[in-house]
Amino acid sequence: MLFFSYFKDLVGREVTVELKNDLAIRGTLHSVDQYLNIKLENTRVVDQDKYPHMLSVRNCFIRGSVVRYVQLPPEEVDIELLHDATRREAR
Amino acid sequence: MAVGLRHFTARAGNGVGEPILDTDNGEELVHVQPSVSVAVGNRASESLGTLYITTRQVIWLSELDREKGYAVDFLSLSLHAVSRDPEAYPSPCIYTQIETEADEVEDESEDSDSECSEVLDLSKIREMRFIPSDANQLDTLFQVFCECAELNPEPIEEGEEEGHNWIFSADQLEDEAGAGDDVEWHFSQNPTNTIGHSNGHHDLASSVLELQINDQRFEDAEEMEQDADTGHHHQSQQ
């Protein structure tokens, strides 16, 4: 539940989602669900070489299971808080 | 359960020719959209078909060719999006990416083959577009795709939960050597509250179990207190 709660707090922020197939998509986090499916708005592909026809799409739904990383805006991240919360979650 | 795009030809014998679904296992038809073209990979669009969205998969059946149809499980759809950028594709459409088994391998041959060959290897297709003749339907279609995708989270495999040994700190390795995995992770219900393991059928909205163990082994060892980690709580006391 930790990351679900964490991402819910990031709704409205710019994130970059990197998929397991190396595609990176940047956009505004619209919503996230318990499976960490991610909906982005105003998305654009970070590296256009691999998927040139994708370019910019308005709304995008990304399956949670294909996400490798979610890159967060550094100013939004309280590392100590996150560290603390993950340790607690683990026990 | 096949990964990727596949041919679909199972139609009901009646005049409408709706796809035959796996109703015994609970598959239901959610949305039907007639007058939809489909563009598979880099190929030109194939017109005049009907899109059937079920609780498990997306099916497109050709109206012209009763033997032609495509289907892809939601489990294989990595992403879907509303594409309105004419530079990306001339017509507004639902753009989807399909996870294939060959995803690790760069398959360049798909581009050259798809132009000339009639027999298409669907399992290598990584992109697919659904182009409704009525562009106003796009938002509805996108919504239906979202709803049905949410119905298809990753299934939990049997073996995964037992060998679930997450390491959180180097200190833990000492404990694990002696204790094994007997006491730590045995919740009475399914232990789904581990980090990163949130895909599955389990209802994460239910409360997380608080593990109460009064066991000396879980007391903080002397050396751990010297770590001076901020906010290091003694949870086992609560």
DSSP chain A: -HHHHHHHHTTTSEEEEEETTS-EEEEEEEEE-TT--EEEEEEEES-TTT-TTT-EEEEEEE-GGGEEEEE--GGG--HHHHHHHHHHHH-
What CATH number corresponds to the domain at position A30? 2.30.30.100
B235 and A90 Cβ atoms separated by less than 8 Å: no
pLDDT at A79 over 90: no
ipTM metric = 0.88
Other CB atoms within 10 A of residue B104 CB: 9
Interface membership of B171 toward A (CB under 8 Å)? no
Q: Would you place residue B168 in the very low, low, confident or very high pLDDT band (cuts 50, 70, 90)?
A: low
Among B78, B150, B198, beta carbon nearest to A66:
B78
pLDDT band at A50 (very low <50, low <70, confident <90, very high): low
Chain mean position to CA A65: 12
Residue in B closest to A86 by C-alpha:
B195
- Judge whether residue B98 has pLDDT over 50: yes
pLDDT in the model for residue B74: 97
- What are the residue ranges of helices labelled H in chain B? 109-116, 138-150, 170-179
Residue range of the domain that includes A67: 2-90
Sign of CA dihedral B148, B150, B151, B156: positive
**Do A91 and B235 lie within an 8 Å CB cutoff?**
yes
E-assigned strands of B55-123? Answer: 57-62, 69-73, 77-83, 93-98
Residue B119 in this model has a pLDDT that exceeds 50 = yes
Q: Which two tokens stand for residue B194?
A: 């581990």
| Cα atoms in the Cβ-side hemisphere of radius 13 Å centred on B165 | 10
Check: CB of residue B82 under 8 Å from CB of residue B122. no
State pLDDT tens for residues A62-75: 999 999 999 998 88
Q: Closest approach of chain B CAs to the CA of A73, in angstroms? A: 20
pLDDT digits (tens, 9 = 90+) for B24-48: 999 999 999 999 999 999 899 998 8
Nearest-angstrom CA–CA distance, B93 and B38: 9
A23 touches chain B (CB under 8 A): yes
Based on the structure, what is the number of domains in chain A? 1
- Burial of A26 by CB count in 10 Å (0-12 exposed, 13-18 middle, 19+ buried)? middle
